[in-house]
Amino acid sequence: MSDGHEHNGHENVPSRQRRRFPGISSRTYEHPADRSALVALRKLSGFDTVFKALSGLLPERSLRLLFLSDSVRVSDQQFSHLNVMLRDACYILDLEKVPPMYVSQDPQPNAMCIGLDEPIIVVTTGLVELLDEEEMRAVVGHEVGHALSGHSVYRTILLFLTSLAVRVAWIPLGNLAIMAIVTGLREWFRKSELSADRAGLLVGQDLQASMRGLMKIAGGNHLHEMNVDAFLAQAEEYEAGGDLRDSVLKILNVLPRSHPFTTVRAAELKKWAESRDYQRIMDGHYPRRDEDKDTSVRDSWRESANHYTTHVKSSKDPLMKLVTDLAGGAGDLGDRVRRGFGGFANPAQKPPRGPETPGPSDSPGDDRPPRDDS
């Protein structure tokens, strides 16, 4: 049942047979918004040279020395089960050079892939202790996906700029300029996390394990108290629930985050796993790395734009519905906005409705299940 193979001079035997993807391009699993940004950056002449020139300004060397001196490097002698997972993930995604991996003492479950010249992967003890083998395999595949996509470069820059913004907070304009860049990078990085979740699924090839891992990150090691279907229902309620006021609060809540909310990640991953695109990849039909140089920036941007258009049209979020109405030239826009923000007004002061009662499709909340706010 096992599929033994040799990679980079070390024999690696995964616990069960998994499909391998020789020469796979990261474009295969990248979210459209993530892919369009990366394709554009890769096409910029001298882009890599510029960022490598910045390496003297960025604390990359300091970070490498810090992990080397104060964390445990994964190897055949240390955390050997993680070492097997790492080599297996690199074999499946055909990443030729296995990045160094460290376990850092931190009760907070977390993992990251950073580095300008070469990526390094760091996982915390909180994450190692929280997840079982198959859940952890998906996380390792997630980080290897970051490495294959080149996300580690931009993640390192994001860490540096976030730190810099704190240090120059006393300079109003300087801080605003840096935070504008940080906000843009965070929006991109949230999409890159959706890409890496897909890479984790390609490595683990176990959707339930990926779902369990996300549930544990959200609710801890209490699987007997949690249910995947109920967890996904939370994402549905989050997407569709509330009025325009809630839509604005959602945006404000997510802006300072580098990762999407866990229920949203779970729902996005399940949707992709059930798509025709995923099945084609598993059947061996996917973009190859040697074709990356021929990728069109325009086509990538068009695909990204189409994705967002489809997302807005199909979204149940009240604000997205309003955007759709604007695009369609809704005649009762003022009334829709007033009803959408009705939560701000005193119910006793609300203007009476006209003689015409709107149908179910006109009310943002009519198709919502009742909410228990107790």
Which amino acid, one-letter code, is at 20?
A: R
Dist CA 352 CA 173 (whole Å): 47
The verdict on pTM exceeding 0.85 is no
The pLDDT, as a whole number, for residue 19 is 95
> How far is residue 151's CA from residue 179's CA, in Å, rounded to a whole number?
20
143 is a catalytic site residue: yes
The pLDDT of residue 66 = 85
pLDDT of residue 245: 61
Beta-carbon contacts of residue 111 (< 8 Å; ≥ 6 apart):
121, 122, 123, 124, 127, 139, 142, 143
60, 135, 143, 193: the active-site residue: 143
Mean pLDDT by 10 residues, the chain (374 residues): 43 66 94 68 52 56 84 97 97 95 96 87 97 97 93 72 59 59 69 93 97 95 93 87 60 66 92 95 94 62 54 51 50 50 48 48 43 46
- pLDDT recorded at residue 180: 65
